[in-house]
Amino acid sequence: MATILIVDDRPSNRAYLLALLGFTEHRLLEADDGATALDLVRAHRPDLIITDILMPKMDGYEFVQRLRADRELAATRVIFYSAVYAERETLAMARSCGVERVLSKPSDADAIMEAVNAELVLAGALPSAPAKAALPAVAPAAAAPSAPAS
């Protein structure tokens, strides 16, 4: 079971992610801005944070920069989840503060779950999908002798 923190200033966006992730066995936390989120991260050490970018008090960029500045929290996995999605600029800003995955709002449930699971594997909070074992090569069986005709 992983701990996931959802950070968004809009209650409806948090409610959507909480409902979607509520079907998992993960522990879910929520915050409405970066400052509150930083306090929760220090107290609960989540495995993954899903955060909006544009928020009051402390936006997603500043929140992640502060997270990365703390040696104990710097490796925490983060997904940016934002309606403001000028793809090139958003990806550049995300990468500049160590965020590798950006989801646009709205994103479909499958895309969100795929991103969450991938990040939790990278965080070490979920086992990676088992590799499909290759079946050993089997030589073709010799043809069985046919029954004698009577």
By C-alpha distance, which of 37, 35, 66, 69 is closest to 50? 37
pTM: 0.82
Please tell me which residue, 137 or 67, carries the higher pLDDT value: 67
CA distances in angstroms from 61 to 18, 123, 147, listed in the order given? 22, 20, 78
For domain 3-123, the CATH architecture is 3-Layer(aba) Sandwich (3.40)
Would you state the pLDDT for residue 83? 80
**115-139: b (≥16 Cβ within 10 Å) or e:** bbbbbbebbebbeeeeeeeeeeeee
E strand or H helix that includes residue 77: strand 77-82
pLDDT digits (tens, 9 = 90+) for 57-92: 899 999 999 999 999 999 999 999 988 666 778 888
Identify how many contiguous H helices and E strands the chain contains and give both numbers. Answer: 5, 5
